[in-house]
Amino acid sequence: MNIETSTMRRKLGNSNLMLSPLGLGCWQFSGGKGLTGKFWPVLPKQDILNIVQTSLAGGINWFDTAEIYGGGESEQVLAAALKAVNSPLAKEAHIATKWWPAFRTASSIGSTIGVRLQMLDHRTIHLHQVHQPFSFSSATSEMNEMAKLVKQGKIENVGVSNFSAAKMREADQALKEHGLRLVSNQVKYSLLDRRIEQNGVLDTAKELGVAIIAYSPLEQGLLSGKFHRNEALVKAIKGPRKFSSGFRASGLQKSLPLIEVLENIAAKHGATPTQVALNWMIHSHGQTVFAIPGATKVKHAEENVSAMKLDLNRSEIEGISAASWDVLK
């Protein structure tokens, strides 16, 4: 690992994990399987390998997947790609996955961990997360089960996803009873969705030392600006994205002023709006926020890794933030 790469590491919340501020979200590796897999096109195995390899080479050292992503398909494909890369970077890569709680009880966390490990080719699960807050069990019960897995050496750290401020406090308190702490809360967060700054989630995360992991940081590509500049791309959208209000003509018109700010700053840095949006995300709140953009093409992975290397000044970060709030009014 070179010096430039080593400086792109920060502590993930209440853990000892030193991670790149951007990880690679792997939902798109679902292979078209299950309801969630239909969101993305089926990617060729070689493309996935190239995306993973490009991410690793560019300094990304962790990958976020989940049980629900194709019923384990994403986990399997990710593990296979890391094995095929066969480099020290791949061997040292960190894995975050998630347990799906809907229509289950907390006991399912322990009874399904063997499947998670099998799908991941018995790689270490550095972060195991409760995917969402709705199940037949309380957050306290879920954290008690997660704590058992930590003590058994089957996982290293515990996180949650889509938890409210109150649920985060409950989860952290339950883990404290076992000598552990809540490490992260994975939530939807972008320049076009800043609810966590208003509903107490971000403030509570900072207070508790919990990392925020932002998913959909580019609003399914909306913040790239390409859909604002090319109507044909909007018409070509397939899957659930095409029903999003942000991709309608009125939605594109509303967010255009923010896109123009991103484009202007990108031009000054020889970058893209995507890279500027991601860099804002990982620097606007100190080192609290991490993000997990996906990649369906190698060029997306290249953009992701370059985004970490941008050096936006405080004035630019504040200007982007102000333009974002203007759009969200």
Q: 3-222+273-311 domain in CATH 3.40.50.2000?
A: no
Share of the chain above pLDDT 70, in %: 96
Please list, in sequence order, all residues whose beta carbon lies within 8 angstroms of the beta carbon of residue 22, skipping any fewer than 6 positions away: 60, 278, 282, 290, 291, 292, 293, 304, 305, 307, 308
- Helices and strands (DSSP H and E) totals, the chain: 15, 10
Helical residues (DSSP H) of 22-69, grouped into ranges: 34-37, 45-57
Return the structure tokens found at 125.
Answer: 């699960």
Radius of gyration of the chain (CA): 19
Instruction: Give, rounded to a whole angstrom, the gap between the first and last alpha carbons of the chain.
Output: 44
**Nearest of 303, 96, 76 to residue 213 by alpha carbon:** 96
Structure letter (DSSP) for residue 291: E
3-class DSSP state of 46:
helix
pLDDT in the model for residue 247: 84
Tokens 């992701």: give the residue. 304
pLDDT for 196: 98
Convert the pLDDT of each residue in 115-157 to its tens digit. Answer: 999 999 999 999 999 999 999 999 999 999 999 999 999 999 9
pLDDT by residue (tens digit) across 71-107? 999 999 999 999 999 999 999 999 999 999 999 999 9
Per the annotation, the verdict on 69 as an active-site residue is yes
Mean pLDDT over each residue of the chain, to the nearest integer: 94
Q: What is the mean pLDDT of residues 305-323?
A: 97
**Predicted pLDDT of residue 288:** 98
CB-CB contact of 97 with 125 (8 Å) = yes
Per the DSSP assignment, residues forming a β-bridge with 98 are 129
Tell me which DSSP letter residue 104 carries: -
For 190, which DSSP code? B
Residues whose CB is less than 8 angstroms from the CB of residue 258 and which lie 6 or more positions away in sequence, other chains included: 191, 192, 223, 320, 323, 324, 326, 327
Q: What pLDDT does 11 receive?
A: 98
Task: For residues 210 and 14, give the distance between their C-alpha atoms in angstroms, rounded to a whole number.
Answer: 6
Tens-digit pLDDT profile for residues 280-306: 999 999 999 999 999 999 999 999 999
Asked whether the CA dihedral 317, 61, 149, 66 is positive or negative, the reply is positive
Task: Name, in order, each residue with C-beta under 8 angstroms of 31's C-beta and a sequence gap of 6 or more.
Answer: 37, 42, 43, 70, 73, 74, 77
| Residue in 29, 40, 69, 290 annotated catalytic | 69
Lowest mean pLDDT among 41-50, 213-222, 242-251: 242-251
Chain centroid to Cα 240, Å, comes to: 19
